[in-house]
Structure 1
Amino acid sequence: MPTPVKPVRADAVRNRALLLAAAEEEFVERGLDASIADIAARAGVAKGTVFRHFDTKDDLIAAIVETHMIALTTTAHRLLESDDAGAALLEFLTVAADRRQQRDVSFLMTASAANPLVATLRDDLVADVGSLVEKARNAGAIRADITGTDVFLLICAPVHVVEFLADPPPDLWRRYLGIIFDGMRPQGATPLSMPAPSWP
């Protein structure tokens, strides 16, 4: 007879959510040197509560990254059902860039790149982006030589570009997303000088 699954207590779910939110804020403010004690204090829980949810600091970082990956994958899945493949791809890039604008956790993604679950979620996201790109290509919305890897690598580009300015307007990244997406359109396309890279 199978062992009954023990229900997760509501306070445990709440504490985990508080910890993830507090940890993300601490890491964004202090970098990877943010301490577990400070994270616990910000979340309003005891330090031991952190370790009841996450065995190590690395596990906590990976859990933050996983929430972002899952959110983007959920968006991609929804947009794959769209009848307008070009608009769907543009919307995905807009959502992804907007999340990056609101909070840059790319350094956490780099720090957790070796985590097996993070790696799997990242590869799943790459595959979903590839499906969005394939649909847009087949619909003639983007040029035939654009790949999913190309688009995945461009996700952060609009926001990264404006970071070179001292005090950019909050939505300036949308201008550069427009330029990038127009560069994907087939109208006026010329051959690219290099082939697309393969995803590792």
Structure 2
Amino acid sequence: MTDDPARPAPTGSTKALRRDAEENRQRLLRAAWEVFAELGPEAGVEEIARRAGVGMGTLYRRFPTKEALVLALNDALMEELLEHTRQTLARDESGAGLEECLWFTGKVMSAHQGCLSRLWQGNLPSADPRRQEHWAIVRKLLERAQEAGRVRADLTLTDVYLAVLALRGLVEETGTIAPEAWMRFLEVQLAGFRPAITRELGYTPADDALVRRGVGRWVSPPHED
């Protein structure tokens, strides 16, 4: 007796296949972060498949192109950050949420180093609803921190955004040789955020167009009417 190819697979078999497919996908994502962290964004997908313990056919079924893999990493990173900022806003009653959010961002970057700049600059912030929501929440956290007197009254959202960009660059440059250097850097940044004791800042802040547009070699600012 032979199997009928037109007959649907048993439900249990379908669930097992889906589970195996998802496990392979997660192994590939973990391997991709590891390989990109060690070898940089130009690393080949062959090494990613090898470390994940899957064949190239499996990799291409999950991610038809390298760009599709990079976008999947970007999605996972953005979802992790966005979910944390949502939770932070929901429980922030003392104005400490902004600092908590920045510390978490540093930890995520450090844990997922490797082609961070390419990932974060793949799409304009204004074109990604998740980024828009993320930075809208960060703005609320900043306002609460200012209302609570935890940060300077003249601190802007762009100041925070540029601090994150600087943090990202530091993680990329020192992650493999000084993996904890970002912690000291962020501490210094946060110290500068706190209310001024001596004098006001002497330079005018950039406007929030930077937050909407993003910064980097791979994207160009949109034309405005």
**Shorter-chain TM band:** 0.7 to 0.9
The answer to whether 1:68 aligns with 2:55 is: no
Aligned pairs for 1:103-122 within 5 A: 103-105=112-114, 106-110=116-120, 112-113=122-123, 119-122=128-131
In the alignment, residue 150 of structure 1 is paired with which amino acid?
A: D
Aligned partner (choices 22, 34, 41) of residue 25 of structure 1 = 34
Instruction: Output the amino acid matched with 1:59.
Output: A
- How far is 1:20 from its partner? 0.6
**Aligned partner letter, 1:74:** E
Shift of 1:101: 2.8
Alignment equivalent of 1:150, drawn from 142, 155, 159:
159
Cα drift, residue 114 of structure 1: 5.8
- The answer to whether residue 106 in structure 2 is matched with residue 83 in structure 1 is no
Secondary structure of 1:25 counterpart: helix
Matches for 1:50-199 after TM superposition, within 5 Å: 50-81=59-90, 82-85=92-95, 87-105=96-114, 106-110=116-120, 112-113=122-123, 119-158=128-167, 160=169, 168=178, 170-188=179-197, 189-198=199-208, 199=211
Please give the root-mean-square deviation of Cα atoms over the aligned residues, in Å: 3.0
Q: Distance in 1 between matches of 2:104 and 2:146?
A: 20
Structure 1 runs of 4+ with >4 Å offset? 114-117, 158-164
Give me the whole-angstrom Cα distance separating, in 1, the residues matched to 2:101 and 2:181. Answer: 18
Correspondence 1:39 to 2:48: yes
Alignment-derived partner of residue 13 in structure 1? 22
Counterparts in 2 of 1:120 and 1:192: CA distance versus 1, 3 Å: farther
State how far apart, in whole Å, the 2-side matches of 1:115 and 1:77 are: 18
Paired residues of 2:33 and 2:113 also in contact (CA < 8 A): no
Q: Give per-residue Cα distances to partners, 1:102-136, cap 9 Å, x unaligned.
A: 3423233256336998x443333222222211221
Identity %: 33
> TM-score when scaled to structure 2?
0.72
CA contact (8 A) 1:62 1:115 kept: no
TM-score (norm 1): 0.80
Q: Give ranges in structure 1 of 5+ residues lacking alignment.
A: 1-5
What is the rounded CA distance, in whole Å, between the counterparts of 1:158 and 1:10 in structure 2?
Answer: 37
Aligned residues: 192
Structure 2 stretches lacking a partner, 5+ long: 1-13, 214-225
Change (3 A) 1:142 1:114: closer
Q: CA deviation at 1:172?
A: 4.1
Counterpart position of 2:5: none
